Structures are given as structure tokens and as C-alpha cells.
Chain A
Amino acid sequence: MNIKLRTLLASALLLATSPLFATVADDIQVVDPMIRVVPPVVTTTGAFMTFYNPTDTEHFLVGASTGVAKKVELHMHIHDNGVMRMRQIPHIHLPPHKDKRLKPGGLHLMIYGLKKPLHAGDKVDIELEFDDGSRKTVTATAVKR
């Protein structure tokens, strides 16, 4: 079999089977995304949501971005005897068949450089990036809480 033919066959096989291999972004479910309304003098805020990984494989959220702010980082809090220590983390682990909840005082998306103040009820698109490089956009509701 010459190389050309082999390449052709490989491509055909890949094309034929690709719909079976959904991306991580297709698989991971995101529930109740919200972004916090903060005082207009402040341009940093947090976003929260619950992830569900229905697959048998562990996955990771590796990044996020939004058009309404300069930068989004993944952060967590360590509660240490009443002291809150906030740290940037490289990814958020999404274990198989489990929920992972981002919530105030815990894991959160830290949003820097809001371009304009948010108001309760505003809808904000946040693009999430997963470990295979796939992306998905969720719409977060701005909440005052």
C-alpha cells in the first residue's frame, strides 16, 4: 500500500468516526452560571456555576474568557482558621460522573477589568476552555448576592 493511499484511508476513517468522538466541551454540562454584581468602583468580580462531567474520564477546565472584561482567571479559596486565602490555580478538576460546584468562598472564576458596571439581570457570555482545547460558551446571569 503506498503512502498516499494509506493517508487517504486514514483520513476517511477519521472522517467517518469523528462524530463518535465528542469534544470535552460537548460532554461537560454547565448549570446555573452566574456573575456577581459588584460596586461600580470595582472592576473585579467573580463568576460561579456548577459543572457535571457525565463521562467515564476525568476532565479539566483550563481557562475562561469573556467579552465584558479584560481577563478571567481560575481561583480557589483556602479557609484557614477564619482566614481566607485566595490563590490562582491552573485548572479545575472535573471528576467522572460528578458535580463540581463553583461557589462564593470556594472555587470561582475571577474576572478582572470589567469594561462597564454590571446590573442585576444582565446576561454575560463566558467562554470556557477544556483540557482538549475545546470551548463552549455559557450565558451567566448577573446577580446581586
Chain B
Amino acid sequence: MNKKVSITIQVLVAIALGIWLSYYFNSPPPGEAPLQLGGDFTLTTADGPASLHDFKGKVTAIYFGYTSCPDVCPTALYNLAAAINKMTPEEQAQIQGLFVTLDPERDTPEKVGEYARHFHPGFIGMTGTQDQIDQVAQQYLVIHKKVPMPGSEQEYAIDHSSRVYIVGRDGKLLSMLPHSSTEEDTIAYLREALAK
């Protein structure tokens, strides 16, 4: 091998290494895809199937719970409804409340629909198959677990994350409000989402 060829190979290797390195440092490390919370889903309402993208242009506030939840879910939903009711009619018209059940076994589309409307006439209740619910819960990082309650009148309860998810007009998840959020917090986050 003469000297000229050897240098050419060295240059080519250096260029290849450079290209590879630039790719390596610019792309995320393998196995760690950028965390994408939220996103579209299609579930069942009392009026048939509905998807998150049906509400594009509006800000949506999503709550995951179950109708036999006597305490945590009503607290969160009464709070969300009270916050929305304190906003101007123009603002209210641009907000859609969604209740997604984590208990599709007991919660029929009619039941979740009526449940959701009790808190706010505009709220929509959604259910689906267990797989569909698990999928949406995973997208939104909602922890939920069926827990048997031996000796209790209720055969099982569902441990679950209690948060309000605020989704922007473009369908992108903007914020997750903790259970302890006040009406004022909720209004502030909804207004922030409306301004985007």
C-alpha cells in the first residue's frame, strides 16, 4: 500500500467518524425516546365514539376516575366545575371537560355520561374496553389499580392518580394539576391554556 492511498483511507475514516459522532451527539440515546405524555385517543360516550381531536380548537380538561368513587372524584370534579363556572361565558364556551372512567367494568357509557353531566352540564363522560382505558391511562401516566375490599359493601375500589390534565387547543398536553389545586389554581391554568 503506498503512502497516498493510506492517507486517503485515514481521511475517509476521519470523515466517517465525524459524521457518526455528529449523529451520535445530536440524536437521543437509543432506548430513551423523548417522553411524550398525552396525545389523542378514541373512547365511547353515551352518544357514540368520541376522540380528543374532536375538541380541537377548545381547551380540554380531562379527569380520570370512576363513578363509585365517593369522595376523591366528586371533590375534584366539583372543584373543576366551580372553577369553570367562575370564568366568563366566552371562556367557558372554549373549555371542554372530559371524565374518563378507570372502571369500564362497572361504568357504562350512559352511567359515565350522566355522572359527568351532574357536575357540569357540558362535561362528557367516556368509557371503553379495559384495554382502551389502560392505553389512555398509560399515555397520560395515570396510575390505577383495582383493589379488592374484603368485608366492604363495595367489592373493589380503584386506587388512582387524581389530577386534572389540561390539553391545549392543538391537542397537546399543557399541564397536570395536582389533587390539592384550588379553584384559583385551576382558573389560572385554564386561562393560560386559553391564551395559547
Residues in chain A within 8 A of chain B (CB atoms): 36, 38-42, 44-46, 70-71, 73, 75, 77, 79-80, 82-88, 104-105, 108, 110-113, 144-145
Contacts and interface: CB of A to CB of B under 8 A. Distances in A.
A82 B163 contact: yes
Given A88-B151, A108-B70, A42 B178 contact: no
A84 B162 contact: yes
The size class of the interface chain B forms with chain A is 20 to 34
B152 A105 contact: no
B71 A85 contact: no
Contacts of B24: none
Contacts of A144: 78
Interface string B47-81: 00000000000000000000111111011001000
Given A41-B114, A83-B162, A87-B149, 10 more contacts: A38-B74, A41-B110, A44-B154, A77-B72, A82-B143, A82-B161, A82-B162, A84-B72, A86-B157, A108-B70
A69 B8 CA distance: 88
Contact of B70 (A46, A83, A145): A46
A140 B169 CA distance: 42
A41 B162 CA distance: 21
A38 B70 contact: yes
B147 interface: yes
B154 A112 contact: yes
B71 A108 contact: yes
Given A36-B70, A44-B154, A88-B149, A83 B115 contact: no
B178 A41 contact: no
B71 A46 contact: yes
Given A88-B151, A110-B70, A82 B114 contact: no
B115 A45 contact: no
Contact of B143 (A42, A70, A83, A88): A83
Interface of A is mostly: strand
Nearest to A117: B118
Contacts of B162: 82-84
6 closest pairs, A vs B, by CB?
Answer: A39-B118, A112-B153, A104-B75, A85-B159, A46-B70, A46-B71
Given A41-B114, A83-B161, A105 B71 contact: yes
Interface in B144-189: 147, 149, 151-154, 157, 159-163, 178-179
A15 to B, nearest CB: 40
Interface in B115-137: 115, 117-119
21 contacts: A36-B70, A38-B70, A38-B118, A39-B67, A39-B114, A39-B115, A41-B110, A46-B70, A46-B71, A46-B74, A79-B179, A84-B72, A84-B162, A84-B179, A86-B71, A86-B157, A86-B159, A104-B75, A108-B70, A110-B71, A145-B82
Contacts of B75: 104-105
